[in-house]
Amino acid sequence: MKKLALLAAFLCVVATVGFAQGTYAKDGMLVAPGSLIANAGVSFNYGYGFGLGGGVEYSIGKFVLAEKLPFSYGAAARLGLYLSSGVSVSAGVLGTLHFSWAALDLPSTLAWVKNIDTYIGLGLSVLPSISFNSIAGSSYFLSKSLAVNFESGLSATYIGVLYKF
């Protein structure tokens, strides 16, 4: 139930600020090669409480599919601090892949969608044990540098902010 409420709140924020915005993408990309990103947020852990999560990412390069759809790829690190009956920590390193919806030729009524960057990541958790892990999320850019971020993975789902340097 908490996750559903969280998703509803995220969609309300996107809907309210989104319709009045222009696009912040450059060449169809919101996260271009050379971008350094930091994110942080409040997490809702799978089955045991809440906490704080965040990380950093560097976009290394890009490739284009069908001569029209640019994807950027990079390396990321994530850290989570979870509070329940005790305190636990998770950490991971991942390879990431980003897609900006600005690359699509959308009608003007959907122009706000062009500020959404969707991504996935695959890598290793190093705390509390070494294992494979994945993340997936979307960021809605409110400006060229600031976004509302929604991510799931590394033992939690979180909503927070993202800053692009």
Residue ranges of domains in the chain: 2-164
- Strand ranges (E), the chain: 36-45, 50-65, 69-83, 87-100, 116-127, 131-141, 146-153, 156-164
Question: Using alpha carbons only, how large is the chain's radius of gyration in Å?
Answer: 16
User: Going residue by residue through the chain (165 aa), what tens digit of pLDDT does each one get?
Assistant: 555 555 555 555 555 554 456 889 999 999 999 999 999 999 887 666 789 999 999 999 999 999 999 999 999 999 988 887 788 888 999 999 999 999 999 998 999 999 999 999 999 999 888 999 999 999 999 999 999 999 998 778 899 999 999
Q: Which two tokens stand for residue 98?
A: 């980003």
Q: Which helix (H) or strand (E) holds 12?
A: helix 2-18
d(CA 41, CA 37): 14
Whole-prediction pTM: 0.85
- Domain 2-164 belongs in CATH node 3.40.50.300: no
